[in-house]
Structure 1
Amino acid sequence: MLFFGFCTVQYISCPIHYISFFKKGIVAHLCCINQNKSSIKKRTIMNQLSKILAALLLKLLLFILLFGSDSLQGQKKSTSISISNKGKTTISVNNGFGNSFHVEYRGEIKLSDDDSDVVSISPGGYMEIKKSAFGNRRKIFIEPNSSGKLIKKYYVGSSERSFDSEGRKWMAEILLEVVRSTTLGSEQRVNRIYRKTGAYGVLKEIDYIGGDHVKAKYIKLLLQKDLKNADYISILNVIGDDIDSDHHKADILKNNTSKFLKTEASAAAYIEAASEIDSDHHMAEVLKKSIKDGRITDNQMNSLFMIARNIDSDHHKSSVLLTVLKSRSLNSSNLKLLISSAKDIDSDHHRAEVLRAALDTEGVAPSSFHALLSSLDGMSSDYHISTVLSKLLREDLDPSSFSHALKQTGQISSDSHKTSILKSAVKKELSNENIEILIDVLDHMGSDNHKADVYKQLARNSYSDMQLSKILLSIKDISSDYHKADALLAFSRIVKEKGGTVGDSYNSVCRSISSDSHFRRALNAIR
């Protein structure tokens, strides 16, 4: 017979052999019939069969144990803390799988240097530790008497036991678990560890601590010390790697920017720690705080924009970029990078808001204008595209940027919005390339009324004969005789003055008018 915990493999040497598997009161039998004239060879086979089945059962047992271990690890650890207005603090920690402890105390608690005992409690204070594990309940209650001496009591279940013989040992075991799971004695412990082993020792201790709340408390206490630059980098690495809670990460980073951003190396570590935050809200808050602090260098702004691109929320992403634009001046490279980052914003409203704010930056380079215009790609709102283009056209654009702006205007679906922008655009001096693009945009407009409005605005500028002829000939594309004649009339004065090839172009367009009245109206205007 072989035993494996709750499993039994039984082999009986008799004419009928039974291999039995017992689990939770269930018996499964494998029956093999052995003939009365069995040979030694057959017995050997049966023995081998028993060994094989025993091995299979052992594997099954190991699988169950491993599965049970995973279930245990899957148990979530939870901590609840409450502080009453009378100074009582209650901490409950559930480590999962029936293992939990409860701490209640009032007053100032001082621990021994090895964290194995309570050495003093302030007058009127007390401390109670209760632990329950797999149905076993134990408790320690400590309070000072009138002379300050501590009275320590130890209970197992509801029975009081000797503290010195049993309770002291359990106190040493449970107290280390308590201080590493709660903030009890945290200030005293950080001070003691820092005196002995510096920031390294405190960070090493944090590695043993369970719970982001407690880890954050220890880091905050450590940041009150006179630290070296290298210590800040180590702390930032711990924040990024060991604290899971976005709230606690962001809280430490936001409230210590002046310390973390002292050097370029620590600022780089700060940005790296911020990149580990998953919450868009918390990441945006951290980035905005670091931007407002003003210690991020131009080189580090590149990394900051890369992190901002990981923010999914359009609201939070735009808030970071707007904070950059309002809080600091940017070199041309970083401005171009910011504008390119705006292209990742899906919301037309938020993207347009960032692009308009970028245009308020002084000394925008032509390359930045091109980046801004490219950032309009993918926007569907004619209104928001128009607000950006209208503001852009107030800038002193080079011919290349101006041509790019005209092309983007052509992507607007609404003839009304398109006309508003073109009427503003044609007030500027136009190059030959600009005129070619403008005519193409007009050709794709559906409304003859809006086309005529743009031509009327064009007629107020001065052009070379070649340019003027090209503009006049493009009027042929207006379908409505009324609007075609209206557009020609706007150029009649300058055509009358110039004559020649310009006059020929005008006459050519007049001949395309079907209506006699509109034909005569246009033709008579130049006689």
Structure 2
Amino acid sequence: MIQLSKIIASFLIKLLFILLLVSSTAVSGQKRSTSVNISSSGKTTVSIKNGFGNNFSLEYKGEITLSDDDTDVISISDNGYMEIKKSAFGSRRRIFIEPDNSGRLIKKYYVGGSQKSFDAEGKKWLSEILLEVVRSTTLGAEKRVDRFYKEGGSYKVLKEVGNISSEHVKSRYLKLLLEKDLKEKDLISVLNTIGDDIDSDHHSASILKSHTKKFLAYEGATSAYIRATGEIDSDHHKAEVLKRSIKDGEISDTQLKALFQITKAIDSDHHKASVLKEVLDRRSLSSENMKLLVSTAKDINSDHHKASVLKQALNKNDMPQSVYNTLLSSIGDMDSDHHIASVFSELLRNKIDGASLTYLLDLVGDTMDSDYHQANVLSQVASKQDIANNVLTNYLSALREIDSDAHQASTFKELSRKDFKAAQLIKILEATNNISSDHHKAESLLSFASKVRNANSDVKAAYTAACKDISSSSHYGRALRAIQ
């Protein structure tokens, strides 16, 4: 019988342990919620729910002064008051404190609905609950931060921040600390705390944006600032912090590389583009960083947003020639002929070297399906760029990708406005064979007639040979007579 009792007792103890473990896990899994309301009369109400009935609320009005050890309320301004309520597992307790006419504090303590002796029980409970109150709310935050800072500098303040669970309250303490005259090492510590201990993107971004110039005044702090920004998950908040840093700080070229790395991690095309455009608006870029910017733009999926960044980059007066190929490679992933053509058009406003122009001509046929857009780009090349012999070969190859005879003919007409050597003219005349329509083939040849008349016999022979491919006798005769 005794042995059976021991077995039952052992089972009950184990069962109680399991229930306590499950209860503890459930409580810890409960989401903490905090609501704060400040009325027009100056009354502040804070309600905090920790789950399973473990809740407390604070209501106060006026200026509340706590003791240096945060265990007592030592003064409340005239017409002010403070009330703390807490319920946990069915137990309800409350303290109400207000000043009398002479400023002396009247403190009342209640358990359930009954008033108890404050000196006997309430004083102890107030000393226990006040620490929870100040770590869950911003009550006394300014004086607490001043006190901790005086005692042990930013280290002591940050240590207290580590004891605070509320993101809002942590944010308030860090902002108050940042109002101090901090050294670079202190700023780095604050930034590390933001990156490691603040889970809320909203609060992290708010702190980083509120003291941008202070953070970016030092090389090491700027690097820590960029790292902390990289910990933000929200594309919106991350982009806003990066744009503020670009606006307010003098970021070095080295730090800018890190900024581009963070920008790459932004998923939103809109926000990624907005950061890159802010960089282009606010600062001149080295060749290396311009390449990094264009490379970052390559990760933008939206043709609209990618094109807007690339066109703005092309508008920079200091855009180096070495970046053009990097920029052109980023166009290969675009689908919209309209947006591809718009970037090409912007690029062709600048004078580009032969290698980049050859690359562009290769892309015209590879990336664009629209005859209209292909012809439009090739016409712009003909009107704005020098076409060397090697470039002409690629140009004519791109022209052959156009299916529409009308668009091919319009491109030949634009090309005829340029001056070419005899060998180049022969290549161009031979390329008209790709046009099926007698009318458009004749029109293309006629556009070169004045140049052919003054050219050598080889060029005239090439022109005559091209005319023979015209089936219509009227178009053939018209084209041939033009050089006689």
- 1:450 paired with 2:412, answer no
- What does residue 180 of structure 1 align with? 135
- What does residue 275 of structure 2 align with? 320
Counterpart among 374, 382, 407 of residue 337 in structure 2: 382
Aligned equivalents of 2:256, 2:88: Cα separation in 1: 52
- 1:435 paired with 2:435, answer no
SS in 2 for 1:426: helix
- What does residue 200 of structure 1 align with? 155
Q: Match for 2:251: what amino acid?
A: I
- What does residue 187 of structure 2 align with? 232
Q: Deviations over 1:117-175 (max 9, x none)?
A: 11111111111111000110000111111111111111000001111111111111111
TM-aligned CA distance change 1:54 to 1:508, over 3 Å: farther
TM-aligned CA distance change 1:97 to 1:310, over 3 Å: same
Q: Deviations over 1:195-222 (max 9, x none)?
A: 1111100000000011111001111111
Determine which structure has the larger helix proportion and give its number. Answer: 2
Mean Cα deviation higher: 504-513 or 156-165: 504-513
Tell me if the contact between 1:511 and 1:519 (Cα under 8 Å) persists in the aligned partners: yes
Counterpart among 505, 512, 517 of residue 474 in structure 2: 517
Aligned equivalents of 1:214, 1:272: Cα separation in 2: 22
Q: Match for 2:123: what amino acid?
A: R
- 1:344 paired with 2:299, answer yes
Counterpart among 85, 94, 100 of residue 55 in structure 2: 100
Tell me if the contact between 2:422 and 2:456 (Cα under 8 Å) persists in the aligned partners: no
Tell me if the contact between 2:378 and 2:399 (Cα under 8 Å) persists in the aligned partners: no
Aligned equivalents of 1:165, 1:60: Cα separation in 2: 37
TM-aligned CA distance change 1:499 to 1:111, over 3 Å: same
What is the TM-score normalised by the length of structure 1? 0.88
Q: Match for 2:381: what amino acid?
A: A
- What does residue 317 of structure 2 align with? 362
Counterpart among 408, 421, 427 of residue 464 in structure 1: 421
SS in 2 for 1:498: coil
SS in 1 for 2:272: helix
TM-aligned CA distance change 1:423 to 1:55, over 3 Å: farther
Q: Deviations over 1:396-431 (max 9, x none)?
A: 110001111212222221111111111110122212
Counterpart among 67, 79, 89 of residue 124 in structure 1: 79
TM-aligned CA distance change 1:446 to 1:150, over 3 Å: same
Tell me if the contact between 2:212 and 2:249 (Cα under 8 Å) persists in the aligned partners: no
- What does residue 481 of structure 1 align with? 438
Tell me if the contact between 2:85 and 2:93 (Cα under 8 Å) persists in the aligned partners: yes
- 1:86 paired with 2:61, answer no
- What does residue 420 of structure 1 align with? 376
How far residue 444 of structure 1 moved from its aligned partner, in angstroms, is 1.4
- What does residue 355 of structure 2 align with? 400
Q: Match for 1:459: what amino acid?
A: S
Aligned equivalents of 2:15, 2:98: Cα separation in 1: 52
Q: Deviations over 1:432-455 (max 9, x none)?
A: 221111111111111001101111
TM-aligned CA distance change 1:59 to 1:505, over 3 Å: farther
TM-aligned CA distance change 1:62 to 1:473, over 3 Å: farther
Tell me if the contact between 1:348 and 1:379 (Cα under 8 Å) persists in the aligned partners: yes
Moved over 3 A (4+): 53-68
Higher gyration radius (CA) = 1
Aligned equivalents of 1:160, 1:207: Cα separation in 2: 36
Alpha-carbon RMSD:
1.9
- What does residue 35 of structure 1 align with? none
Q: Deviations over 1:74-106 (max 9, x none)?
A: 101111111111111111111122101011111
Size of the aligned set, in residue pairs, is 482
Q: Match for 1:279: what amino acid?
A: S
Tell me if the contact between 2:247 and 2:282 (Cα under 8 Å) persists in the aligned partners: yes
The higher relative CO (CA closer than 8 Å, separation ≥ 6) is in 2
Q: Match for 1:257: what amino acid?
A: T
Counterpart among 210, 220, 223 of residue 255 in structure 1: 210
Tell me if the contact between 1:294 and 1:328 (Cα under 8 Å) persists in the aligned partners: no
Mean Cα deviation higher: 425-434 or 189-198: 425-434
- What does residue 306 of structure 1 align with? 261
How far residue 63 of structure 1 moved from its aligned partner, in angstroms, is 5.1
- 1:373 paired with 2:328, answer yes
TM-aligned CA distance change 1:117 to 1:57, over 3 Å: closer
SS in 2 for 1:362: coil
- What does residue 292 of structure 1 align with? 247
Q: Match for 2:399: what amino acid?
A: L
Aligned equivalents of 1:143, 1:284: Cα separation in 2: 47
Aligned equivalents of 1:93, 1:399: Cα separation in 2: 69
Q: Match for 2:235: what amino acid?
A: D
TM-aligned CA distance change 1:156 to 1:486, over 3 Å: same
How far residue 69 of structure 1 moved from its aligned partner, in angstroms, is 2.9
How far residue 294 of structure 1 moved from its aligned partner, in angstroms, is 3.3
Q: Deviations over 1:219-278 (max 9, x none)?
A: 111111121111000001111111111111111111101111111000000011111111
TM-aligned CA distance change 1:126 to 1:525, over 3 Å: same
Alignment of 1:255-274 (within 5 A): 255-274=210-229
How far residue 290 of structure 1 moved from its aligned partner, in angstroms, is 0.5
Aligned equivalents of 1:497, 1:225: Cα separation in 2: 82
Tell me if the contact between 1:311 and 1:317 (Cα under 8 Å) persists in the aligned partners: yes
Tell me if the contact between 1:212 and 1:248 (Cα under 8 Å) persists in the aligned partners: yes
Q: Deviations over 1:314-366 (max 9, x none)?
A: 11111111111111111111111111111111111111111111011123222
Tell me if the contact between 2:235 and 2:267 (Cα under 8 Å) persists in the aligned partners: yes
Aligned equivalents of 1:210, 1:454: Cα separation in 2: 69
Unpaired runs of 5+ in structure 2? none
Aligned equivalents of 1:159, 1:55: Cα separation in 2: 40
Aligned equivalents of 1:69, 1:129: Cα separation in 2: 25
How far residue 471 of structure 1 moved from its aligned partner, in angstroms, is 1.1
SS in 1 for 2:454: helix
- 1:242 paired with 2:197, answer yes
Alignment of 1:132-143 (within 5 A): 132-143=87-98
How far residue 55 of structure 1 moved from its aligned partner, in angstroms, is 8.5
Aligned equivalents of 1:114, 1:61: Cα separation in 2: 38
SS in 1 for 2:136: coil
Alignment of 1:15-164 (within 5 A): 64-164=19-119
Tell me if the contact between 1:246 and 1:277 (Cα under 8 Å) persists in the aligned partners: yes
TM-aligned CA distance change 1:477 to 1:195, over 3 Å: same
Q: Match for 2:454: what amino acid?
A: E
Aligned equivalents of 1:123, 1:321: Cα separation in 2: 54
How far residue 499 of structure 1 moved from its aligned partner, in angstroms, is 3.3
